[in-house]
Amino acid sequence: MLEFSRLKVIWLWVITLVAAAAAIPSITATMGVALPAGIYAPKVNLGLDLAGGSHILLEADPSQVRQQRIEGMDESVRNKLKQANPDIRISDISNRDGALTFLVEDPSKVDAVREAILPLTNGAGLTGARDWTINVIDGNRFMLTPTQEGIDLAVAQAMETAVEVVRKRIDALGTREPTIIRSGPNRIVVQVPGLQDPQALKNLLGQTAKLEFKLVDTTALQSDIQRGVAPPGSEIVPYAPGKDGGPVGSIAVKRLGGIRGDQLTNAQVTNNQQTNEPQVAITFNTEGGARFAKLTTQNVNKPFAIILDGKVLSAPNINEPILGGSAVISGNFTTQAASNLAISLRSGALPVDLKVVEERTVGPDLGADSIRKGMIAMAVGTLALVAFILAVYGRFGMYACIALVFNVLMILGIMALIGTTLTLPGIAGFVLTIGAAVDANVLINERIREERHRGRRVFQAVEMGYKEASRAIFDANITNVIAAVSMAAFGTGPVRGFAIVLLIGIATSVFTAVTMTRMWVAQWLRKARPTEIAL
Amino acid sequence: MKLLKLVPDNTNIKFLRWRGPFYVISLLLMAASLGLVFTKGLNLGVDFIGGQMIRVTFTQSAEAPVAPLRSEIEALGYGEPIIQRYGKPNEISIRMKLPEGADHDSGLSDKMARTITADIKAKHADARVDGVDSVSGKVSGELWHSAVLSLGLAALAVAAYIWLRFEWQFGVGALFSLVHDVTLTLGMFAVTQIEFDLTIVAALLTLIGYSLNDTIVVYDRIRENLKKYRKMPMPELLDLSVNETLHRTLATSLSMLITLTALLLLGPGVIFGFTAAITLGIFVGTYSSIYMAAPILIWLKVTSKSFVPTESALDKQERLAREGA
């Protein structure tokens, strides 16, 4: 136990010094000392609770994805059966209540319908599971229900896209180093350090930005619209609340024959030259431009509604065909709203609505205050502990204290090297680790003392001390690891930061308090050859 | 230099003689803690019941003006605030229920936070808003669920580990002393009404790891002595084991308490509750490793037959040397 080859000694020192040296940039940073540029200087990241900033948890509603899929299937089925030759007539189509149902008017065509729609219901996943189940009720009523596997897959895809869209939008705001990660099946965590007022960010993320152009149903009576009754084939859409003085109420638009505004290459805020109001200029890609040209050519002199997320922005008249592939959206915007819309349209529509379910904002002063107080507490606690350990264990205590200093540096250095985040509870984790790290030395030293009392010679007593104590040290640390791992699994942000400090601390404290002190003690024993030790 | 001795050599305190009374006291304390948790309740933070929490520090005041604040915020029409000091007397947290409909429109809770913070800043020049937390009912429900789950699983996992390393009786003893430590700590939160949030759960999990350290050291020694003194009656053997490890138990607990006290008195106020929970837990854990974890082995009928005797190489060498002599 007390044999250390020259090679082993060198290795132990290399590990210790490298890990400890990695702590230097983090320490100089808090002291405000600049290191020369160009050298590799990993730093411990500060969590939001120390650096200040905003944490936002966004959630998508899977039932919305389900409804979207059913509506999409509705459209596909209609198109498919329209293309069938001879065409198959269906009626009583409903996409409510979590399933698509329709009636095949000619019962003899049920099999033909089944054959036609079967390819639409195949799973896109690799499992080969079907995305839809098809049931035929009463002979000629079809019921298509999306399977849970299909919905899960669709939600996963939607969330993947949503993360990308969220990232683009936050980047457009120019905020620095945001963290955007998926959390669970239908959530996204957004963390923006330094952001104090998350309102602008939330406005931006709350906008799904689904843009549609639909024809206004001019036949609808104003009185019907007010009662919320739309003519067949049309729907009532309310105006978006804009600045004061804009249009209010609702208008009727035709369900079909519109186009989606998702095929854009650019969107910019401009000012209307006559009114000087902010507006958003959009540029379609080739396909979108062609569709828009077709819509405007076929409907000259008719009004069409520009609809964003189910609300009408404006309903201008089509004065002439718009063939250039670009258009202007006016909508009684504030400058901020126009800018948000431009960003949202550039980044693409969110495939699902995102709702804020948790939000935490921390001011910058509290964090700075916490770091300062944490460091004072750590310094005072360490000094008091060193005094105590020296008083109780003398020379052996001194080794424990040197190990303690290396331990703190190594924890900090390893955190910087693997890029983990220090949080407020993490500071407490540091202080706790300092207190707990000497436990190993206490156990060893007590054991050495006991072995001496039993009459063993110094060298043997030290050897036995390290050997017999290591069992309890091992068991105690395993239980700490179990606790810290369950904490890391359970906790979010700050709590996980604490668990990580504990885990790193457990590893480094065993290394410094057991291995390193054993090496130092062995070297001293070899050199001094004491026949009596003070313990 | 003369070294400090926390207990004299060859101390032999008859700890186990008092095991009956101490068990009764502990069980009563546990019952009282549970009773308080269920009647008075824990002061659950927004992490676990949802709502909004605004932290404010009054930088120029010795004490936060709690009473005026309460009436000012109530006048804003969002309902009654729970205002509580944390850490220093000039640091407070204001907790509110989320406004009606905020689950669908997070703009409503934003508006409430803005209105309240603007009002405080207007009326108190030295108020510094340190943070705003809004947690929806759905998220807080999940957090509570996973907190309870992780505490239960962690306790079972460490007990299972002790069982694996020792014997089943030791696992039961460890689990019991864990439950004891966590219950008494919860009792403290019910009595003091310190806000119970996510970090407190982290503290309890830490406790599960650290309060067992003492227990493990005592158990390790009991196992060793069971192999060594195969004829010694259990109470005597337990007393011997506890006394042999007493200096170490005190030294370790004092080390932890020294650093924790520094953190409690000088550290950041935001984690006061967290530090308090760990500090109390370490204290209770030291006691329970002596009075809860050890005596239970008598009742669970641990004997030296529970372990196969083994002899270390050095012991054997010495025995042979003795026999030879």
The parent domain of residue B298 ranges over: 15-41+140-312
Residue found by looking up tokens 């006290």 in the block: B261
Whole-number Cα distances in Å, A231 to A87, A192, A228, A316, B196: 26, 48, 10, 21, 57
**Six-digit token pair at B81?**
């605030």
What per-residue confidence (pLDDT) applies to A367? 81
- A391 and A324 together in one domain: no
Residue A172 inside a domain? The answer is no
Domain end, chosen from B135, B153, B187, is at B135
Q: Please give the Cα distance from A358 to A198 (Å, whole number).
A: 12
pLDDT tens track for B233-254: 888 999 999 999 998 888 988 9
Residues A388 and A410 grouped into a single domain: yes
Verify that B118 and B144 share a domain, yes or no.
no
Between A and B, how many CB-CB pairs are < 8 A? 238
Do B209 and B175 fall into the same domain? yes
Is residue A487 a part of any domain in this protein? yes
d(C-alpha B53, C-alpha B46), whole Å: 7
Q: Nearest 5 degrees, angle CA A355-CA A357-CA A363? A: 115
Question: What pLDDT score does A243 carry?
Answer: 65
Q: Could you say which of B85, B111, B135 is where a domain stops?
A: B135
A180 is a domain residue: no
Residues of B in Cβ contact (< 8 Å) with A363: 128-131
User: Does any domain span residue A173?
Assistant: no
A90 and A236 assigned to the same domain? no
Q: A183 - beta bridge partners?
A: A187
Residue A387 pLDDT > 90: yes
Nearest CA of chain A to the CA of B147: how many Å?
A: 7
Domain co-membership, B164 together with B283: yes
Identify the band that residue A309 occupies on the pLDDT scale cut at 50, 70 and 90: confident
B208 is a domain residue: yes
Contacts of B208 in chain A (CB under 8 A): 479, 482-483
How many CB atoms neighbour CB A82 within 10 A? 11
User: In this complex, which of A385, A453, A480 lies closest to B258 when CB atoms are compared?
Assistant: A385
Interchain CB contact of A2 with B (< 8 Å): no
Following DSSP, what letter does each residue of B105-140 receive, concatenated? -HHHHHHHHHHHHHHHHHH-TTEEEEEEEEE-HHHH
Identify the residue with better confidence: A247 or B237: B237
pLDDT at B279: 92
Is residue A164 domain-resident?
no
Q: What pLDDT, in 10s, does the model give residues A97-113?
A: 888 888 888 888 888 88
pLDDT tens per residue across span B194-213: 989 888 988 998 888 888 88
- A268/A320 same-domain check: yes
Query: Of A328, A360, A392, at which residue does a domain stop?
Result: A360
Chain B residues in contact with A200 (beta carbon < 8 A) = none
* In a domain? residue A436: yes
Judge: A479–B248 Cβ closer than 8 Å, yes or no: no
Cβ neighbours of residue B228 under 8 Å, at least 6 residues apart? none
Residue-wise pLDDT tens digits, B127-159: 988 889 989 888 888 888 888 888 899 999 999
Tell whether the model's pLDDT for residue A373 goes beyond 60: yes
A409 and A340 both lie in a single domain = no
Between A31 and B293, the more confident residue is B293
Chain A nearest-CA distance from B199, in A, is 6
Mean pLDDT of A247-276: 82
Global confidence as pTM: 0.81
Whether residues B66 and B125 fall in one domain: yes
CATH for A453: 1.20.1640.10
Q: What's the pLDDT at A409?
A: 92
A353: which residues sit within 8 A by CB, 6+ positions away?
A: A60, A61, A64, A208
pLDDT at B37: 94
**pLDDT exceeding 70 applies to what percent of chain B?**
95
Is B319 inside a domain boundary? no
Residues A21 and A103 in one domain: no
pLDDT at A437: 87
Owning domain of residue A224: 207-360
Residue A38 shares a structural domain with residue A101: no
Which tens digit of pLDDT belongs to each residue from A474-533? 888 998 898 889 888 877 667 888 888 899 999 999 999 999 999 999 999 999 888 888
Q: What is the mean pLDDT of residues A196-204?
A: 80
Judge whether B301 lies within some domain. yes
What's the CATH code of the domain at B128? 3.30.70.3400
Over residues B60-65, the mean pLDDT reads: 88
* Number of domains comprising chain A: 3
What residues pair up with A360 in beta bridges, in sequence order?
A: A55, B133
CATH number for B290: 1.20.1640.10
Query: Which residue of A205, A359, A382, A430 to mutate against B (max B Cβ within 10 Å)?
Result: A359
Q: Is A377 on the interface with B (CB under 8 A)?
A: yes
Per-residue pLDDT reduced to its tens digit, A124-167: 555 566 788 888 888 888 898 888 888 888 898 889 989 988 88
Looking at the structure, do residues B185 and B302 belong to the same domain, yes or no?
yes
d(CA B64, CA B56): 9
The pLDDT confidence band at residue A44, using thresholds 50, 70 and 90, is confident
Long-range contact set of residues B34-43: C-beta below 8 Å, sequence gap at least 24:
B34/B183, B34/B186, B34/B187, B36/B187, B36/B190, B36/B191, B37/B186, B37/B187, B37/B189, B37/B190, B40/B190, B40/B191, B40/B193, B41/B190, B42/B186, B42/B189, B42/B190, B42/B196, B43/B84, B43/B189, B43/B193, B43/B194, B43/B195, B43/B196
Of B102 and B109, more confident: B109
pLDDT of residue A413: 93
Domain's final residue, options A314, A329, A360: A360
Average pLDDT over residues B276-290: 91
Q: Answer for the pair B264, B191: CB distance below 8 angstroms, yes or no.
A: no
Whether residues B109 and B232 share a domain: the answer is: no
Residue A484 forms part of a structural domain? yes
Q: Are residues A399 and A522 in the same domain?
A: yes
Looking at the structure, tell me whether residues B125 and B248 fall in a common domain: no
Is residue B153 situated within a structural domain? yes
Last residue of a domain, one of B135, B160, B189: B135
User: Is the domain of B87 the same as that of B236?
Assistant: no
Of A77-81, B56-60, B287-291, minimum mean pLDDT range: A77-81
What pLDDT, on the 0 to 100 scale, is given for residue A170? 85
| A92 dihedral zone (left: phi>0; alpha: psi -120 to 50; beta) | left
Residue A41: predicted pLDDT = 80
What pLDDT, on a 0 to 100 scale, did the predictor assign at position A403?
94
A202 contact residues in B (CB cutoff 8 A): 106-107, 110
Residues A384 and A523 occupy one common structural domain? yes
B266 interaction partners in chain A (CB closer than 8 Å): 373, 376-377, 380
The number of domains in chain B is 2
Residue A234 covered by a domain: yes
* Residues A283 and A384 reside in one and the same domain: no
User: Which two structure tokens, joined as six digits, stand for B244?
Assistant: 């042999």
- Facing residue for A479 by CB, picked from B139, B209, B271: B209
d(CA B263, CA B266) in angstroms, rounded, equals 5
**Which pLDDT belongs to residue B219?**
92
The closest alpha carbon to A194, from A313, A60, A348, A368, belongs to A368
Same domain, B178 and B238: yes
